Amino acid sequence: MDGKLLYSSVNRTEPYTLSELLERFVDQPERMFHGKDVSFVYDIAAGGNRYYVVFDVKGSALQQVQVYLYFNQYSAWPFLLIPLFLIIFLPALFAFLFLLFVTRRLRGLNNAMQRADLRQAPVRLQDRSGDEIGALSRLFNEMSDKLHRQYAHTRQVEQARAQLIGSLSHDLRTPLSIIQGYAETLQRGSAQDPDTRVRHSTILVQKSEYMNRLLGQLFRLAQLDDPSTAFRMDRGSIPNLLQSIIAEYVLVWNDQGIEWQADIPEPHAYALFDEASLTQAFRNLIDNAILHGSDGKYVGIRIRTSTESVQIDIEDRGKGIPEEELAHIFERFYRGDKGRRSNGMGIGLSFANETVIQHGGSIAVRSAPASSTVFTVSLPLAIE
């Protein structure tokens, strides 16, 4: 052997490129040797001498291993770099993208916290994912909504307080001025006529009672807002309660020429209620019917029962309530249009509504202008 090439299956000495390999051998492996015998030459150095072993193999016997034989002639570096890329660089790329995604979401949460302002519309995050950041975003949305509701409620309370101070200064100034004027007249002895003194004294008593009613309503409303004030709930008969209240008004209705009608069945409708507060709530509704139903001179009280509740209708036939006011009549210090305004502070219906709600019930109202107005109180029946 003198080192000269003895055999080449394609008469070339240069290695194949990868594209040539795929085109020539992968799809058509039988073309590699064309059915010819393949000669293998092994160079062996032993004892200072070089030996060459040459043997032939049938080409058909090498068809299953020809790709391996050919690839074996290539450098091992590409095969080492590919696993290195898969093990090191690809996870690093995924980690970078993940951190970029998480950082963007955290930055959005941080910006939302910085932009949060109770005086403006709530800032909401649209992160609906199920991971911890998504849960934190939903918690931020809930907290933002809750804070805005509390802020709105606080503003309403502040406005109500300012309105209360204005109403108190207006509604108490007039009777106090009247009381002071008539008291000074009596003090100077200007009213010598006994009838005049009686008339003046009657006015003083009336204005004092009016002020006492206003202060009583304020006190009861303050009790509703006090969490330490608890109702004493006892099982009792709603028909019996209403009959005792109606007995208080019979003389008033007869003196004022008001037609009244009470449709109260046998006392079998029982409920759990605080007698003092619920009595005052019904009184407020009846007073409202007397005051605003004076044109119709009628007050009607009816009791109806169902399987789960008892309903009490209190009706008057006055001017009615305008439709645009129906949504506001139970608000504190609300006093409708001039046609239905009284000397009160807009507390009576609010107190009645909040009291019934705290008893687990509700109040509904329906009104037809120049016809009638019906307040319906619904209370749950007590289980025997």
Rg, the chain, Cα only: 48
Query: pTM score, two decimals?
Result: 0.55
pLDDT tens-digit profile of 192-234?
Answer: 777 777 887 888 888 888 788 777 777 777 776 666 566 788 9
Residue 326 burial (C-beta neighbours within 10 Å; 0-12, 13-18, 19+): middle
| Range list for CATH 1.10.287.130 in the chain | 166-225
Out of 6-15, 74-83, 167-176, 254-263, give the one with best mean pLDDT. 254-263
Cβ neighbours of residue 7 closer than 8 Å, sequence gap 6 or more? 38, 39
Backbone angles phi, psi at 346, to 5 degrees: 75, 35
Reduced to 3 states (helix: H, G, I; strand: E, B; else coil), residue 121 is: coil
DSSP E strand boundaries for 189-321? 234-237, 259-263, 270-273, 298-305, 309-316
Q: What is residue 125's predicted lDDT score, i.e. its pLDDT?
A: 74
Please enumerate, as own/partner, the contacts of 19-26 that have beta carbons within 8 Å and a separation of 24 or more. Answer: 21/67, 21/70, 21/71, 25/66, 25/67, 25/70, 26/67
Q: What is residue 43's predicted lDDT score, i.e. its pLDDT?
A: 74
The Cα 85–Cα 91 span in angstroms is: 9
Q: What is residue 376's predicted lDDT score, i.e. its pLDDT?
A: 95
pLDDT tens-digit profile of 4-16?
Answer: 443 344 555 666 5
Domain 166-225, what fold? Helix Hairpins (1.10.287)
| Range list for CATH 3.30.565.10 in the chain | 234-380
Question: Taking the domain 234-380, which CATH number applies?
Answer: 3.30.565.10
